[in-house]
A = this chain, B = another copy of it.
């Protein structure tokens, strides 16, 4: 069977879950507490990060970008990277935008400070980082809104990994109540569209044992 090692609030894990679900590839989820540095997991991925995919053919893949590129090569139906060279370059540019720029400017400042530090007992949240995270969210939602209003989907005419990467980060932040959707209507409309897709259902059904999401989290008409 195919197994995805993940953490529920990891945006990189969520991106791969969405990619697998959009491609209608069945998989089992396995929770991996990476901070335990389990030797069997280190043997699969010496970087000790999630997601890691063990495919049905036995191949083990680490790093969310390597996994997503592999999925589009190994399961080319329903391509998620675009078709032309220009489309693919734009999708990859935007995936990097969300996985690096949005990650370092928003996700890390909010998710890491407010959740991971508490979970791992690594001290109090840094109020300055949290303020920066909230301040940085607005221009990013504006950019998403602008993209969504000028194109059918963020990366171009089709749903792509650009949408999945953005939605993965935003859905993790939305779970901890950190996204003010009133900041940009275009971004909110785009998120409502992607949230309504069948591929999103499993993520919206996720619940952490010690933390409930806000009421709007799984509401498709939030």
Set B59, B63, B92: member contacting A63, Cβ < 8 A: B92
Q: A residues 39-93 with Cβ under 8 Å of B? A: 45-47, 59, 61-63, 65-67, 69-70, 73-74, 85-86, 88-89, 92-93
A101 neighbours in B (Cβ, 8 Å): 47
Set B45, B61, B67, B88: member contacting A69, Cβ < 8 A: B88
Contact A85 B59 (CB under 8 A): yes
- Does A7 sit within 8 A of B, measured CB to CB? no
Chain A contact-residue range equals 20 to 34
CB distance from A140 to the nearest CB of B (A): 11
- Does A96 sit within 8 A of B, measured CB to CB? yes
Q: In the assembly, how many copies of this chain are there? A: 2
- Does A153 sit within 8 A of B, measured CB to CB? no
- Does A134 sit within 8 A of B, measured CB to CB? no
A86 neighbours in B (Cβ, 8 Å): 59
Interface centre among A47, A63, A88 (most CB of B within 10 A): A63
Contact A88 B65 (CB under 8 A): no
Contact B59 A96 (CB under 8 A): no
- Does A97 sit within 8 A of B, measured CB to CB? yes
CB distance from A157 to the nearest CB of B (A): 17
Contact A93 B66 (CB under 8 A): yes
- The distance in angstroms between the C-alpha atoms of A101 and B47, with both chains bound, is 8
CB distance from A10 to the nearest CB of B (A): 14
10 additional contacts (CB under 8 A) given A66-B89, A73-B85: A45-B93, A46-B143, A47-B101, A59-B85, A63-B96, A66-B92, A67-B89, A70-B89, A73-B88, A74-B85
Which residues does A use to contact B, with CB under 8 Å? 45-47, 59, 61-63, 65-67, 69-70, 73-74, 85-86, 88-89, 92-93, 96-97, 101, 143
12 A-B residue contacts at CB 8 Å? A45-B93, A46-B143, A47-B101, A61-B93, A62-B93, A65-B92, A66-B89, A66-B93, A69-B92, A70-B88, A73-B85, A73-B88
